[in-house]
Structure 1
């Protein structure tokens, strides 16, 4: 029987990063993955493939709508080759997965393919697809088994016409009318992919606005922009029935006035969030406690109720984000090694990769009001930037919330071109507890989208932006 210092169950962005960091710290490490492909949901059917399709569809959208204004003439009709887009997406996924394999070899991590199942608190049975199994022993074990798409109890997912994000990443045709249940990140991103390619897209959301966990100003701005692009929104609608009739899917919902509304489409994407995945883990055999919602309970060291077993990523509380899982993977590895790492969960940024992109970190305005914290606000529109006018991406804004007394930045919320990258400036500033004035006095390269952050900081400091 092989013995390890650490065994990691799950090879997503939490698991594989945890394994690498453990190996870097001198621990003999094993990584267990049920599928033949490493990388978990993010690399295989989540972050990476969805961004590949978003980029491909964005190029098509530009070719159809914007090339002419840039002086680019395309002879003949611009056409979509969906299969080629999907093939390119898969190529990107394959390259990324191969990169993870390389990192495992480089760091001398033993990879086991099979379902990892607890035998007890220090032994894991690995059940392979051919029916065979083997057992390994580990002093410490990290659970990083991730999540899977949630569903509503009355919806039958046939994975043909009534689909999840997994099936939406490998469609054989562009839908005529795609009905998206859920106005969160995944639904909006995939909805925009197919809207660009020619589908009519209707988003049905239970809450009173899309991206409901983000600042209301971002929701308002994104709604306005996506409506201009052609997306239709039905907020405050509770779906109560989804039925497939041949090639048609009928969705019935009730609006806020309790009136029944019917939607008909050829495809329905169910995008109502994700839930922790612990199937086959046999956590009871190790004595690991799992809460009512399927989440594994951990302390501030991400340690379960069993002292040598840790859990990270989507199986524990907090936003289900790949970068959160990676930070936790590094954190746990360093805890096991006797170090004293830290994670500031308030500074885990959130991003929506629509176009324009949406990004945020820290407290929303609604949270500050709820907590009774007095704050000041600075806003700056993207359309006032030279860089935005040069690229034609004038939609959006940056909003900075700072403490009314100390001027410390409490939250930064932005929508616009490349804000998924720009948000890192805000995270860095807030990690070092910068004030709005600190940011306003930093030199920002011109012309860049990041100049909007400086201008919003000037607006928050003493209402003196330079360019509006």
Structure 2
């Protein structure tokens, strides 16, 4: 039987990063993956493939809507080759997962393919082509999450689908009904909207992206409606039925009236649930809470001292980069170091166009906590860079303590917001004031100038270009 210092169950962004960090710190490491390829949800059916399709569909939309204005004439009709688009997406996935294979070899990490389940607190049974058993002093659970559904919905994976199936459709939907106005639903909805689908979003809460700052929700709602999305908030879905090639969704609106949506595809995008199926956690004595998450302390240590858990299978935002940070943290704790994560400073991003990004506290949270704060906001359309690229929608908003000027939250919607948010994370990590950013030189012309101008607006309301 092979013995290890650390064994990791799951090879997503949490698991594979934990494995690399453990190996870097001199530990003999094994990683166990149920599927035939490494990378978990993010690399295979999540972050990476969805961004590939978002990028391809963005190119198509630019070609049919904006090339002429840019002085680019293309003879003949511009058509979508969905088969090639999906094939390119898969090649991006294959290259990325192949990169993880390389990193495992480079760091001398043993990879086991099969379903890993606990025999006890130090032994794992791996059921693949053959059954294997390994021993490990420390074990990290990184089994991730799966798409959630509603109790009355039958996912047939043909017409009533999850994000996994939406990434490999063989035809462009005529009318895609999206149940859920969160990150995944809006991103995939925009992919197919660009390709010619009618898209109806049905959201239970009173706004889309309800966990983010309400200002971002309002602006994104306005932009998507301009893009001809049908946005239906405060709608409680009560039935989803397939009749042949048609899907009928019935919901009650906020007045209690029944509303019916008919489409050829329905994407169920109501969040994700922790995935522990087959883990046999009880054999190791590991406790799960009522949400199906592994219960952990501040060191991500379960109730069994040598077993840790990270990523979507524990509490907190279900984000790939959060899982990766936790993977490094646990590896360093096992090695005797004293790392830390500030969960308030893990950014959230929606990769629609315009992109939406946020870090720190929202206005709603500051109001609820009774914090005395000030706001600085700057519109993207006031930037020369935005006019040059025709990306005029959105803004950057900075929330700062009214007394100390420390930045408490940064919320932005606009071109390249996903990249721009990193400046805010750095600033807040070092407890910068709004004036600190206001006094930093930002290259011109860039989208990032909006962050400086928002900081100026928060500092005695002295933005320069509005």
Deviation of residue 231 (structure 1)? 0.6
Deviation of residue 61 (structure 1)? 0.1
Does 1:297 pair with 2:295? yes
**Partner residue of 1:337 out of 335, 338, 341:** 335
Deviation of residue 98 (structure 1)? 0.3
Distance 1:279 1:219 in 2: 35
1:11 maps to what in 2? 11
User: What SS class does the counterpart of residue 69 from structure 2 fall into?
Assistant: helix
2:176 maps to what in 1? 178
User: What SS class does the counterpart of residue 76 from structure 2 fall into?
Assistant: coil
User: What SS class does the counterpart of residue 104 from structure 1 fall into?
Assistant: helix
1:355 maps to what in 2? 353
* Deviation sequence 1:230-251 (CA, Å, 0-9, x none): 1110000000000000000000
TM-score, scaled to structure 1: 0.99
Distance 2:319 2:353 in 1: 19
User: What SS class does the counterpart of residue 17 from structure 2 fall into?
Assistant: helix
Deviation of residue 162 (structure 1)? 0.1
Distance 1:416 1:296 in 2: 36
Deviation of residue 400 (structure 1)? 0.2
Deviation of residue 293 (structure 1)? 0.8
1:35-46 to structure 2, matched below 5 A, reads: 35-46=35-46
Unaligned segments of structure 1, at least 5 residues: none
Does 1:87 pair with 2:87? yes
1:268-307 to structure 2, matched below 5 A, reads: 268-307=266-305
User: What SS class does the counterpart of residue 459 from structure 2 fall into?
Assistant: helix
Deviation of residue 173 (structure 1)? 0.3
2:243 maps to what in 1? 245
Deviation of residue 369 (structure 1)? 0.2
Distance 2:268 2:300 in 1: 31
Deviation of residue 376 (structure 1)? 0.0
2:152 maps to what in 1? 154
Does 1:58 pair with 2:86? no
* Deviation sequence 1:354-409 (CA, Å, 0-9, x none): 00000000000000000000100000000000000000001000000000100000
1:455 maps to what in 2? 453
Distance 2:83 2:418 in 1: 28
Does 1:115 pair with 2:115? yes
Deviation of residue 257 (structure 1)? 0.6
1:431-442 to structure 2, matched below 5 A, reads: 431-442=429-440
Distance 1:415 1:4 in 2: 46
Distance 1:310 1:210 in 2: 34
Deviation of residue 70 (structure 1)? 0.3
User: What SS class does the counterpart of residue 376 from structure 2 fall into?
Assistant: strand
Distance 2:249 2:95 in 1: 38
* Deviation sequence 1:47-72 (CA, Å, 0-9, x none): 00000000000000000000000000
Runs of 4+ in 1 over 4 A off after TM superposition: none
User: What SS class does the counterpart of residue 17 from structure 1 fall into?
Assistant: helix
Deviation of residue 39 (structure 1)? 0.1
Q: Cα RMSD between the aligned structures? A: 0.3
* Deviation sequence 1:217-275 (CA, Å, 0-9, x none): 00000000011011110000000000000000000000011100000000000000000
Distance 1:331 1:69 in 2: 49
Distance 1:166 1:297 in 2: 27
User: What SS class does the counterpart of residue 331 from structure 2 fall into?
Assistant: helix
1:372 maps to what in 2? 370
1:28 maps to what in 2? 28
Deviation of residue 146 (structure 1)? 0.1
1:323 maps to what in 2? 321
